[in-house]
């Protein structure tokens, strides 16, 4: 019969091995359900994902084993301790947490192209919105598969915890436990080198999908809890003088105008944030004929890029003129929301009545909190759409939002409306395109066309400025995802009776530049908006036009030459298009701007 201490050590080893096997199974399930994001996977790719993910899998397993190791140590000195009774609840809780994390990781990546992070835990407070993009059969199938694995795991652990009573400990056993504790600490740290375990441990391929598949979702979620708190210390590439020099080249404060777009300096303003309305999708006569026609009637900015890949990022860029961060969402951080500048507040101080309307849950991702901090006097969500808010997964369809009678009654207003129908699962009440995704955008376009037609017949039209700006783009082709540079392109349109004449503005710009550009036309100082540029200023011609689009763990940098894609985890350029003799200088500017964004965010 084996010594009781040996039995306990074998139990810990068994748990460790089962965890590693479970993590490998999770990776392959992840790959299986996300094959749409990978081209031509080989057997070597599947095995490489499992192999290169082992390092972080081992780190995660060592963390999970902390409590069992402690209890085994205690049981050596307390023979009457019933390990099964103590550890089984722990195993059940851990197993359920793992199953939920695995399901969330698979589902999130399938629909959003993102690995699960700590910030995403906020979505669990809104399960209806969290699952709105997901078909029921998919959730059920993943839950069944992972549930079976978890139940098998719990069964194995319950069997393993039936330990024989211990005998009085001897010094060799105590020494062995101390040694094992040291090894476990090294395992949790990820080795004995200077660097500690981080997501980059799992990165091995030029294909982002394989790196994402290898990255342990539990580790990534826990690691993200410790990141981006001290923004000023992130991405330290160069000394601050060099970073500020690059800032002077790319960002500035110039309210002068090379052209006046408006007939009046105090129009009524309706800003429509089009959910997912990227250029590739909506600049299409079949999908959005109304928008295409309106682009010829107003001021069309045709070279603009979204700052981020989600609504919570896009709203901050639009209203605060602030770049998105590739590591976190500022909207989800109440303390940061209080510090961010915002142009609705500047309009409010100038005498505008500010309001925001959305057909869905306005508390989602701390949206309501941010909007009030941004200077909106009134924020309305799905509670303002009784009887219609339950007609789709996200809330009231856009036809109930994009209505002329929803505008404030009195003049002197700035109203912002956020659409929602052009979002997964693409549920809309009309059929104009055979493809569900395109059909959802066609529906929102029809609502926009009807709204503009009604307002054009109204006496309010003459003093009205309507601004249409998407929050982010969406993939159109199967080979694209949210990190694709072409997905970042968005149209920005100004129209209405307040617009002086139709024109097309080709200047490279970011979504965040809308704020300063609008304020300059209204003769309102945009000084607090340090990252927002007036693209119609004389300075813009002599500056270095750049645009940045961030996604989870990376960014796309656009300049007049083309685009550079940068992986913030691997800290390397993943694509340069087109390749030029100035690539090194462009990459240096990209890194300096990334550092600048974090420095100024830390300074808030």
Q: What would the pLDDT profile of 391-426 be if each residue is shown by its tens digit? A: 788 899 999 999 999 999 999 999 999 999 999 889
Please indicate, yes or no, if residue 242 is contained in any of the structural domains. Answer: no
The rounded distance, in Å, linking the Cα atoms of 326 and 309 is 10
The rounded distance, in Å, linking the Cα atoms of 87 and 79 is 15
Task: Identify the DSSP state of 510.
Answer: E
Tell which residue, 15, 333, 218, 143, has the closest CA to residue 322: 333
Please indicate, yes or no, if residue 344 is contained in any of the structural domains. Answer: yes
Selection from 34-48, 260-274, 367-381 with the highest mean pLDDT: 260-274
Q: Residue 363's pLDDT is what?
A: 83
Mean pLDDT of the chain: 86
* E strand intervals along 359-455: 378-380, 413-418
Q: Residue 162's pLDDT is what?
A: 54
Selection from 193-207, 210-224, 434-448 with the highest mean pLDDT: 434-448
The rounded distance, in Å, linking the Cα atoms of 343 and 366 is 19
* Tokens 């199953």, located at residue: 99
Question: Long-range CB contacts (< 8 A, 24+ apart) of 523-529?
Answer: 523/255, 523/265, 524/346, 524/347, 524/350, 525/255, 525/346, 526/253, 526/255, 526/321, 526/343, 526/346, 527/253, 528/341, 528/346, 529/320, 529/321, 529/322, 529/341, 529/343
User: How confident is the model over 450-459, as pLDDT tens digits?
Assistant: 999 999 999 9
Question: Of 533, 566, 588, which closes a domain?
Answer: 533
Q: Residue 133's pLDDT is what?
A: 59
User: Does the pLDDT value for residue 522 go beyond 90?
Assistant: yes
Please indicate, yes or no, if residue 578 is contained in any of the structural domains. Answer: no
The rounded distance, in Å, linking the Cα atoms of 101 and 60 is 13
Residues 213 and 116 occupy one common structural domain: yes
Confidence of residue 480 (pLDDT cuts 50, 70, 90): confident
Residues 517 and 385 occupy one common structural domain: yes
User: 3-state class of 49 per DSSP?
Assistant: helix
Task: Identify the DSSP state of 355.
Answer: E
Confidence of residue 333 (pLDDT cuts 50, 70, 90): confident
User: Does the pLDDT value for residue 239 go beyond 90?
Assistant: yes
Please indicate, yes or no, if residue 599 is contained in any of the structural domains. Answer: no
Residues 213 and 315 occupy one common structural domain: no
Contact between 417 and 400 under an 8 Å Cβ cutoff? The reply is: no
Residues 195 and 323 occupy one common structural domain: no
User: Does the pLDDT value for residue 138 go beyond 70?
Assistant: no
Question: How many C-alpha atoms does 316 have within 13 Å on its Cβ side?
Answer: 30
Residues 26 and 105 occupy one common structural domain: yes
Q: Residue 356's pLDDT is what?
A: 96
Residues 342 and 421 occupy one common structural domain: yes
Q: Which of 123-127, 322-326, 354-358, 448-452 has the lowest mean pLDDT?
A: 123-127
Task: Identify the DSSP state of 257.
Answer: -
Task: Identify the DSSP state of 323.
Answer: P
* Tokens 């309307």, located at residue: 357
Q: What is the CATH number of the domain that holds 262?
A: 3.40.720.10
The mean per-residue pLDDT over the stretch 183-196 comes to 77
The mean per-residue pLDDT over the stretch 479-489 comes to 88
Q: Residue 169's pLDDT is what?
A: 60
The Cα-based distances of 6 to 166, 318, 596 in angstroms read: 10, 62, 55
Percent of the chain's residues with pLDDT above 90:
50
Q: Residue 232's pLDDT is what?
A: 82
Selection from 121-125, 211-215, 240-244, 511-515 with the highest mean pLDDT: 511-515
More confident residue, 266 or 218: 266
Please indicate, yes or no, if residue 21 is contained in any of the structural domains. Answer: yes
More confident residue, 176 or 305: 305
316 membership: H or E segment, kind and range: helix 311-320
More confident residue, 362 or 511: 511
Q: Which of 132-146, 307-321, 583-597 has the lowest mean pLDDT?
A: 132-146
Q: Which of 76-85, 264-273, 362-371, 592-601 has the lowest mean pLDDT?
A: 76-85
Residues 339 and 399 occupy one common structural domain: yes
Q: Residue 86's pLDDT is what?
A: 78
User: 3-state class of 575 per DSSP?
Assistant: strand
Question: Of 495, 510, 533, which closes a domain?
Answer: 533
User: How confident is the model over 557-583, as pLDDT tens digits?
Assistant: 999 999 999 999 888 898 899 888 788
User: How confident is the model over 89-106, as pLDDT tens digits?
Assistant: 887 788 778 877 887 788
Q: Residue 482's pLDDT is what?
A: 81
Q: Residue 311's pLDDT is what?
A: 95
User: Does the pLDDT value for residue 297 go beyond 60?
Assistant: yes
Please indicate, yes or no, if residue 558 is contained in any of the structural domains. Answer: no
User: Does the pLDDT value for residue 193 go beyond 60?
Assistant: yes
Whether this model's pTM surpasses 0.85: no
User: Does the pLDDT value for residue 462 go beyond 90?
Assistant: yes
Contact between 493 and 299 under an 8 Å Cβ cutoff? The reply is: yes
The total number of structural domains in the chain stands at 2
Q: Residue 122's pLDDT is what?
A: 56
The mean per-residue pLDDT over the stretch 185-198 comes to 76
Give the residues across from 372 on adjacent strands. Answer: none
Please indicate, yes or no, if residue 432 is contained in any of the structural domains. Answer: yes
Q: Residue 128's pLDDT is what?
A: 61
Task: Pull the structure tokens for residue 395.
Answer: 């809330």
Confidence of residue 550 (pLDDT cuts 50, 70, 90): very high
The mean per-residue pLDDT over the stretch 181-197 comes to 77
Residues 360 and 486 occupy one common structural domain: yes
Confidence of residue 314 (pLDDT cuts 50, 70, 90): very high
Q: Residue 50's pLDDT is what?
A: 94
More confident residue, 544 or 414: 414
Question: Of 533, 564, 582, which closes a domain?
Answer: 533
Confidence of residue 22 (pLDDT cuts 50, 70, 90): confident
Residues 331 and 263 occupy one common structural domain: yes
The Cα-based distances of 202 to 18, 198, 433, 603 in angstroms read: 20, 8, 41, 32
Q: Residue 469's pLDDT is what?
A: 98
Helices (H) and strands (E) in the chain, counts: 21, 13
User: Does the pLDDT value for residue 298 go beyond 80?
Assistant: yes
User: Does the pLDDT value for residue 359 go beyond 80?
Assistant: yes
Tell which residue, 492, 494, 498, has the closest CA to residue 461: 498
Give the residues across from 503 on adjacent strands. Answer: 299
Proportion of the chain in helix, strand, coil states, percent, rounded to 5? 50, 10, 35
Residues 44 and 131 occupy one common structural domain: yes
User: Does the pLDDT value for residue 164 go beyond 80?
Assistant: no
The mean per-residue pLDDT over the stretch 167-176 comes to 65
Question: How many C-alpha atoms does 550 have within 13 Å on its Cβ side?
Answer: 26
Residues 62 and 182 occupy one common structural domain: yes
Residues 195 and 343 occupy one common structural domain: no
466 membership: H or E segment, kind and range: strand 464-470
Give the residues across from 465 on adjacent strands. Answer: 269
Tell me how many degrees the CA angle 231-236-237 measures, rounded to the nearest 5. 150
Q: Residue 7's pLDDT is what?
A: 72
* Angle between helices 66-77 and 43-64 in degrees, nearest 10: 40
Q: Show the domain range for 9.
A: 4-225
Residues 6+ away with beta carbon under 8 Å from 464: 267, 268, 269, 270, 455, 496, 497, 498
Residues 6+ away with beta carbon under 8 Å from 409: none
Q: Residue 310's pLDDT is what?
A: 93
Confidence of residue 265 (pLDDT cuts 50, 70, 90): very high
Strand bridging mode 353-358 / 413-418: parallel
Please indicate, yes or no, if residue 574 is contained in any of the structural domains. Answer: no
Tell which residue, 321, 408, 316, has the closest CA to residue 356: 408
């Amino acid at each position: 019969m084996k010594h009781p201490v040996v039995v306990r050590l074998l139990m810990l080893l068994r748990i460790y091995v089962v965890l590693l096997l479970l993590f490998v199974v999770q990776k392959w399930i992840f790959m299986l359900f996300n094959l749409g994001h990978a081209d031509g996977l080989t057997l070597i790719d599947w095995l490489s994902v499992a192999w290169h993910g082992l390092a972080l899998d081992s780190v995660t397993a060592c963390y999970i084993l902390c409590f069992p190791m402690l209890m085994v140590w205690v049981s050596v000195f307390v023979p009457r301790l019933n390990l099964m009774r103590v550890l089984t609840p722990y195993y059940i809780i851990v197993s359920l947490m793992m199953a939920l994390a695995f399901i969330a990781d698979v589902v999130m990546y399938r629909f959003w192209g993102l690995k699960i992070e700590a910030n995403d835990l906020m979505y669990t407070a809104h399960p209806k919105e969290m699952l709105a993009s997901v078909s029921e059969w998919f959730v059920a199938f993943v839950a069944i598969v992972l549930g079976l694995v978890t139940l098998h795991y719990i069964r194995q652990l319950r069997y393993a915890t039936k330990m024989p009573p211990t005998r009085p400990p001897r010094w060799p056993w105590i020494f062995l436990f101390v040694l094992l504790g040291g090894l476990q600490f090294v395992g949790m740290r990820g080795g004995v080198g200077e660097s500690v375990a981080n997501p980059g441990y799992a990165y091995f391929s030029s294909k982002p999908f394989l790196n994402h598949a290898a990255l342990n979702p539990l580790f990534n979620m826990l690691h993200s809890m410790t990141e981006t708190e001290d923004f000023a210390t992130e991405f330290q590439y160069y000394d601050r003088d060099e970073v500020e020099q690059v800032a002077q080249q790319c960002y500035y404060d110039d309210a002068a105008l090379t052209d006046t777009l408006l007939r009046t300096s105090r129009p009524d303003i309706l800003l429509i944030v089009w959910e997912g309305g990227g250029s590739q999708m909506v600049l299409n006569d079949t999908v959005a004929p109304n928008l295409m026609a309106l682009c010829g009637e107003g001021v069309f900015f045709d070279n603009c890029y979204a700052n981020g890949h989600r609504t919570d990022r896009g709203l901050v860029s639009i209203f605060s003129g602030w770049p998105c961060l590739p590591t976190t969402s500022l909207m989800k951080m109440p303390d940061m929301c209080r510090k961010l500048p915002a142009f609705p507040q500047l309009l409010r101080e100038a005498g505008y009545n500010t309001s925001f309307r959305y057909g869905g849950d306005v508390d989602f991702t701390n949206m309501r909190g941010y909007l009030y901090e941004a200077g909106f006097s009134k924020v309305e969500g799905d509670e303002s759409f009784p009887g219609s808010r339950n007609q789709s997964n996200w809330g009231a369809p856009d036809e109930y939002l994009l209505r002329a009678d929803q505008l404030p009654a009195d003049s002197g207003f700035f109203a912002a409306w956020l659409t929602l129908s052009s979002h997964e699962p693409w549920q809309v009440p009309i059929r104009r395109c055979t493809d569900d995704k395109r059909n959802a955008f066609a529906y929102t376009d029809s609502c926009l066309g009807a709204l503009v037609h009604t307002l054009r017949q109204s006496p309010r039209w003459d003093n009205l400025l309507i601004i249409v700006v998407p929050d982010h783009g969406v993939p159109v082709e199967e080979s694209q995802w949210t990190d694709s540079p072409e997905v970042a392109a968005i149209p920005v349109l100004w129209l209405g009776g307040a617009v002086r004449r139709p024109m097309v503005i080709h200047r490279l710009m970011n979504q965040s530049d809308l704020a300063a550009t609008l304020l300059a036309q209204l003769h309102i100082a945009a000084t607090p908006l340090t990252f927002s540029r007036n693209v119609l200023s004389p300075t813009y011609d002599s500056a270095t036009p750049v645009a940045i689009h961030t996604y989870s763990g990376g960014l796309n940098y656009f300049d007049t030459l083309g685009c550079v894609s940068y992986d913030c985890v691997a800290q390397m350029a993943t694509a340069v298009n087109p390749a030029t003799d100035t690539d090194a200088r462009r990459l240096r500017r990209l890194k300096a701007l990334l550092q600048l964004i974090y420095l100024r965010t830390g300074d808030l």
